[in-house]
C-alpha cells in the first residue's frame, strides 16, 4: 500500500513550482513530516514533508520539472524501519559499529538533516561537504550556505597547495593549460529566473528615472555611537542605519503619497500605510521581505524585523508571507561597497531608495572645507506616476531627516 505525496499549497497567487532537489531517493526510509523534496517558487524554497512514515517509492517528477499545486510527485510505500535515515554502505575494511552506536548515529543523521535548509542541503551535496565537520554560524548554531562555501573553499585551497607541490615535480603539458579553461553550465533557479523577468519587465513597462543626493551621516553616526550600547541592552538588537532610513522614508512617503502609491490599470492606488520591502541577499539571489506598518513601528521593532529577515534569508527559511506586498523598497548596496547606483523599482511599487557606502569626503560647511562622512542616496521612480518635483522633494525630506534626526521625533 502506498501514500501519495502532492505539491502543497504554496501561497497566494502561486500556482506552480519547480522541483529543486529530491532529498530522499527510492528505497530510503522516511519519517513522518521529514522533508523529502525541495520546491523552488518565484520567491522562496519550500520543503515538501512526508505525510506518513515508510519507504520512499517512485519519484514521479524530475529535478527541474514544473509542477502545479496538488500535483502527484511521489509515493511512499509501507515498510518497516521507517523513521531512520538510510546509511551508506560501510567500507569492508572498517570494523562494524556496535548496535548502540549505529542507532545513535542514525538518529543524529535525521536530526542534522531536519535543521538544514534547502539551500544548505543543496550546497552540501554540490560541494561534498560533511555537515558534521562544519561549525554553523546561524541562529542556534545552524549551518548556513556561507558556512558550507567557506568550508569548501578551505578544502579546495588545501588541495590546490598539494597539487601545486606535485606539479612542480611533474613535467608540464598542454593538457594542464586546457584544464584551466573549463566551462560550467548551471541551470538558473526559478527564483533567479523570476528576478530576471521582473527586473526586465520593470524596465520595459515603467518610465524609470533616478534622482540623486548626498547625505552628511555625522549626526546619525554620533547618535549610534552614543546610544548603541544602551539600545542593544534594552532591546536586544543592534542599532543600525536602516532604522533611521526607514523612519525617514516614512516621513517622505506621508508627505508625498504618490511615492508610496502604484498604478493599477488606469487607476492610481494610494496607500495610507507604509510597508517597506527591505532588499537582502539570500543564497539563491536577492529577496525583499516586508517590514509591515513601518510608519507605526519603533526603531527597535524595525531593527528587530530587519535582523530576523536577514537571519532567515541566510538560513533559507523566508516564507511567502514574509515577502508578500510592500509599498516601497530600500536597497542597501553600500554593504557591498557600492558608491553609487540606479536601483530598479520592485513592481508594482513605484519607487525604490538606494543606499550606498559611507566615505569621508571634503565638503564646504559655512564657507569652510571640512571632512565629513558622506553617503550618496538615489531614488528611482516610475515617472508615469511620480513627477520629478515630487521625487526630488521626497529624497530631500529623507536627506534632511538623516542629517537632523530630531525631525524623526517631531514628525517634521
Query: Do 403 and 270 share a structural domain?
Result: yes
Instruction: Assess whether 205 and 328 both reside in one domain.
Output: yes
Which has the higher per-residue pLDDT, 385 or 46?
A: 385
Question: Taking residues 166-176, what's their average pLDDT?
Answer: 55
DSSP 8-state class, residue 331: E
Pairing of strands 16-22, 35-40: antiparallel
Which of 353-356's residues contact partners 24+ apart within 8 Å by CB, and which partners? Answer: 353/245, 353/249, 353/328, 353/329, 353/377, 353/378, 353/379, 353/395, 353/398, 354/378, 354/379, 354/380, 355/241, 355/245, 355/330, 355/331, 356/332
Shared-domain flag, residues 56 and 151: no
Cα 218 to Cα 224: distance, rounded to the nearest angstrom: 10
Angle between helices 218-235 and 241-255 (to 10 degrees): 110
Ramachandran angles phi, psi of 313, nearest 5°: -65, -40
Give me the mean pLDDT over the 264-274 stretch.
Answer: 94
Q: Which of 65, 156, 229, 383 is catalytic?
A: 383
Residue 382 lies in a domain: yes
The verdict on whether 383 is a catalytic residue reads yes
Q: Catalytic annotation on 387?
A: yes
pTM score, two decimals?
0.65
Instruction: Name every residue whose Cβ is closer than 8 Å to that of residue 218 and which is 6 or more positions away in sequence.
Output: 372, 373, 403
Residues 127 and 33 in one domain: no
| Residue 196 shares a structural domain with residue 153 | no
pLDDT band at 401 (very low <50, low <70, confident <90, very high): very high
> What gap in Å lies between CA 71 and CA 60, rounded to an integer?
10
Residues 271 and 362 grouped into a single domain: yes
Better pLDDT: 86 or 291: 291
> Among residues of the chain, what percentage have pLDDT more than 70?
82
Q: Spell 229-257 as b/e; 16+ CB within 10 A means b.
A: eebeeeeebebbbbbbbbbbbbbbbeebe
Counting the structural domains of the chain, the total is 3
- Quick one: residue 69, left, alpha or beta (phi over 0 = left, psi -120 to 50 = alpha)? beta
69 and 202: one domain? no
In 3D space, the residue among 282, 356, 369, 319 whose CA is nearest the CA of residue 47 turns out to be 319
pLDDT of residue 327 exceeding 60, the answer is yes
**Does one domain contain both 212 and 266?**
yes
Residue 42 lies in a domain: yes
DSSP assignment of 225-284 equals HHHHHHHHHHHSS---HHHHHHHHHHHHHHHSGGGG-EEETTEEEPPSS--EEEEEEETT
**Poorest-pLDDT segment among 53-67, 163-177, 227-241, 385-399:** 163-177
Q: Is residue 183 part of a domain?
A: no
More confident site: 352 or 196 = 352
Q: Are residues 36 and 67 in the same domain?
A: yes
Among 96-100, 266-270, 273-277, the range scoring the smallest mean pLDDT is: 96-100
Q: Is 40 helix (H, G, I), strand (E, B) or coil?
A: strand
pLDDT band at 254 (very low <50, low <70, confident <90, very high): very high
Residue 14 falls within a domain, yes or no? yes
On whether residue 173 sits in a domain, the answer given is: no
Closest residue by Cα to residue 74 from 46, 51, 40, 102: 51
In a domain, 177, yes or no: no
pLDDT at position 190 over 50: yes
* Domain-ending residue, one of 125, 152, 168: 168
Beta strands in 23-153 (DSSP E): 29-30, 35-40, 45-49, 54-59, 66-68, 72-77
What is the distance between the alpha carbons of residues 266 and 154, in angstroms, rounded to a whole number?
56
For residue 318, which of 16, 21, 44 has the smallest C-alpha distance? 44
Give one word for 54, left, alpha or beta, with left for phi > 0 and alpha for psi -120 to 50. left
In a domain, 275, yes or no: yes
Domain end marker among 75, 97, 112 = 112
At 319, is the secondary structure helix, strand, or coil? coil
Which CATH number does the domain housing residue 122 bear?
Answer: 4.10.320.10
**Distance of alpha carbon 141 from the chain centroid:** 19
Same domain for 64 and 18: yes
Q: The domain containing residue 128 runs over which residues?
A: 116-168
Residues 40 and 127 in one domain: no
pLDDT > 70? residue 118: no
Residues 396 and 356 in one domain: yes
Of residues 303, 321, 109, the one with CA closest to residue 224: 303
Residue 182 lies in a domain: no
**C-alpha span between 317 and 334 (Å, rounded):** 24
CATH number at residue 222: 3.30.559.10
Q: 92 or 348: whose pLDDT is higher?
A: 348
Mean of the pLDDT values across residues 124-147?
76
Lookup: cell for 137: 554560524
Catalytic residue among 387, 400, 404, 411: 387
CA distance 178 to 162: 20
CATH number at residue 95: 2.40.50.100
Please tell me the least confidently modeled range out of 20-29, 85-94, 230-239, 382-391: 85-94
Cell numbers that stand for 94 in this block: 572498517
Amino acid at each position: 500500500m502506498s501514500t501519495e505525496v502532492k505539491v502543497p499549497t504554496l501561497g497566494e497567487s502561486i500556482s506552480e513550482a519547480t522541483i529543486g532537489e529530491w532529498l530522499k531517493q527510492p528505497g530510503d526510509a522516511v519519517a513522518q513530516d521529514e522533508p523529502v523534496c525541495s520546491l523552488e517558487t518565484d520567491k522562496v524554497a519550500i520543503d515538501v514533508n512526508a505525510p506518513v512514515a515508510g519507504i520512499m517509492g517512485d519519484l514521479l517528477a524530475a529535478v527541474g520539472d514544473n509542477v502545479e499545486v496538488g500535483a502527484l510527485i511521489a509515493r511512499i510505500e509501507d515498510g518497516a524501519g521507517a523513521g531512520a535515515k538510510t546509511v551508506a554502505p560501510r567500507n569492508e575494511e572498517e570494523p562494524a559499529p556496535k548496535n548502540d552506536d549505529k542507532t545513535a548515529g542514525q538518529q543524529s543523521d535525521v536530526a542534522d538533516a531536519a535543521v538544514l535548509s534547502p539551500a544548505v542541503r543543496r550546497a552540501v551535496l554540490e560541494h561534498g561537504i560533511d555537515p558534521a565537520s562544519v561549525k554553523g554560524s546561524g541562529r542556534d548554531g545552524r549551518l548556513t550556505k556561507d558556512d558550507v562555501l567557506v568550508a569548501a573553499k578551505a578544502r579546495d585551497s588545501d588541495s590546490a597547495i598539494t597539487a601545486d607541490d606535485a606539479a612542480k615535480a611533474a613535467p608540464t603539458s598542454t593538457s594542464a593549460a586546457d584544464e584551466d579553461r573549463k566551462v560550467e553550465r548551471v541551470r538558473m533557479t526559478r527564483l533567479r529566473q523570476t528576478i530576471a523577468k521582473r527586473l526586465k519587465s520593470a524596465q520595459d513597462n515603467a518610465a524609470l528615472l533616478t534622482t540623486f543626493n548626498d547625505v552628511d551621516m555625522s549626526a546619525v553616526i554620533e547618535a549610534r555611537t552614543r546610544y548603541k550600547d544602551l539600545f542593544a541592552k534594552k532591546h536586544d538588537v543592534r542599532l543600525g542605519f536602516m532604522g533611521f532610513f526607514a523612519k525617514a522614508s516614512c516621513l517622505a512617503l506621508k508627505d508625498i503619497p504618490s511615492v508610496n502609491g502604484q498604478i493599477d490599470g488606469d487607476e492610481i492606488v494610494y496607500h495610507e500605510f507604509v510597508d517597506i520591502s527591505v532588499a537582502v541577499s539570500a543564497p539563491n539571489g536577492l529577496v525583499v521581505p516586508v517590514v509591515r506598518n513601518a510608519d507605526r513601528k519603533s526603531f527597535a521593532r524595525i531593527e528587530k524585523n530587519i535582523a530576523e529577515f536577514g537571519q532567515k534569508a541566510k538560513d533559507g527559511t523566508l516564507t511567502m508571507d514574509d515577502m508578500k506586498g510592500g509599498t516601497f523598497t530600500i536597497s542597501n548596496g553600500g554593504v557591498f561597497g557600492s558608491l553609487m547606483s540606479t536601483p530598479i523599482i520592485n513592481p508594482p511599487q513605484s519607487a525604490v531608495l538606494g543606499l550606498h557606502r559611507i566615505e569621508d569626503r571634503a565638503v564646504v560647511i559655512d564657507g569652510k572645507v571640512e571632512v565629513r562622512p558622506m553617503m550618496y542616496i538615489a531614488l528611482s521612480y516610475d515617472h508615469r506616476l511620480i513627477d520629478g518635483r515630487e521625487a526630488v522633494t521626497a529624497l530631500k525630506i529623507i536627506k534632511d531627516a538623516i542629517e537632523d534626526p530630531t525631525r524623526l521625533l517631531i514628525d517634521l
